Structure 1
């Protein structure tokens, strides 16, 4: 599903066309009903109920998607802080043990950025995560060895190892957060209900002899933008809403120099 958002313009055009077709279908059904004398093209309590449910569902999914987006962005800051804290605590180990640790940290930070830069390609993403995991093990072993040396400060292991543990733990939290999305059933229900609402809106405009292009285009455009923004919040690395630059800035703030 996330591959749909690698081309946001194509997705928006597809949604816009689908809404126009639904509106036109509703208008065509209304014209047929009026011509046969079986019904009148007018609003009803059913229409109001459908639009009310649609509004509620949009509000629910938008709020949930925005909350998940904020949570993912907070995790980026949390990881950057964890890396920065562990980096500063390298100063607790003996001076000659610091360069290997700092080099490993630089490679680790680069691997974390690289992993999420390739999140659209599962093979590359997993490979980058593998490099991060390998570097984590290297950093951990270097820290234990340095902290166990006789010339190490007594608090070296007590302060450095917990910071490293926090830095390592956040990687799993971030990876799992990528799997948290609106359930497919709700997404399908939202899209289906939106198309039904479009058909009902078109049915309500069927009494007019000529098409009201302003209303037709406005309805299709508003619904397209709304649904796209919800979807884009769910996958904030593929479309217009993108956290990649934010992530790079957050990692850069760790000042691994």
Structure 2
């Protein structure tokens, strides 16, 4: 189940990326002035610093590539799960025709409520408490649907229909757990902290290396910080697609549209 406190992840992501941007600019300037101070003392900037910077940026690029790739894979998996759930609900709904006519209408209404509940879960992901309440509503509907189906197919002439009806309903219920786990699956926090720390270290070393020149071009410092911060934000946005610029809104509409066909 979903756990945690309600929070605006978009705001958190923006604050983290702004902190990264200003931190990189600050450390780049600090590195530059530290290097200039070293030169004024008559010392030289060690040649090895260039190799260190190259290695640090290579490591940063590798981590960003893996993190971005993983984030997009999870994003695509969540999208596919919504489609699979819509298909499972639709298949189970069609097989309600196998039941007695008097039992079909209440079941069809509960299926419509179920599809809406599953669609609204995505809409409420920014509020953990509301999302948990929606999951509880889904569980209540599952129990009601299951008991109604068993009661409707209890007559001897309808019991063989259970072989056709119960498996898709079971699949429809199982995918709830699969989607819930997928929603909560993200990289461990230390990975993001490592990316953050390496980006700051790269900025500081770049500024230190640039101190060999008397003129410190702030444009490139700001450009580097902006690009890294934006990529970091994009990764967070893909990881939490409900809260930022990237979303699964269009795919989630499939469940609402499915509910409309059940009227």
Of 237-246 and 190-199, deviating more is: 237-246
Which whole-Å CA distance do the structure 1 matches of 2:46 and 2:227 have between them? 23
Unaligned runs of 5+ in 1: none
Deviations 1:141-171 (CA, angstroms, capped at 9, x unpaired): 111111223564x652111111100000000
Q: Tell me how many residue pairs correspond in the alignment.
A: 256
Q: Look up the match of 1:119.
A: 125
Residue pairs, 1:67-146, within 5 angstroms: 67-146=73-152
Which whole-Å CA distance do the structure 2 matches of 1:209 and 1:256 have between them? 72
Deviation at 1:15, TM superposition (A): 2.8
Q: Look up the match of 2:254.
A: 249
Q: Look up the match of 1:37.
A: 42
Which whole-Å CA distance do the structure 2 matches of 1:139 and 1:222 have between them? 51
Q: Look up the match of 1:172.
A: 177
Q: TM-score, normalised by structure 2?
A: 0.89
Measured at CA, do residues 4 and 212 of structure 1 come closer, stay the same or move farther in structure 2, by a change above 3 Å?
farther
Which whole-Å CA distance do the structure 1 matches of 2:75 and 2:219 have between them? 33
> Do the aligned residues in 2 keep the contact of 1:41 with 1:207 (CA within 8 Å)?
no
Which whole-Å CA distance do the structure 2 matches of 1:25 and 1:71 have between them? 43
Q: 1:14 aligns with which of 19, 23, 28?
A: 19
**CA-based RMSD:** 2.1
Deviation at 1:183, TM superposition (A): 1.4
Which whole-Å CA distance do the structure 2 matches of 1:195 and 1:4 have between them? 25
Which whole-Å CA distance do the structure 1 matches of 2:255 and 2:44 have between them? 61
Unaligned runs of 5+ in 2: none
Deviation at 1:212, TM superposition (A): 1.3
Deviation at 1:40, TM superposition (A): 2.2
Which whole-Å CA distance do the structure 2 matches of 1:69 and 1:40 have between them? 45
> Do the aligned residues in 2 keep the contact of 1:5 with 1:11 (CA within 8 Å)?
no
Helix, strand or coil at the partner of 2:184: coil
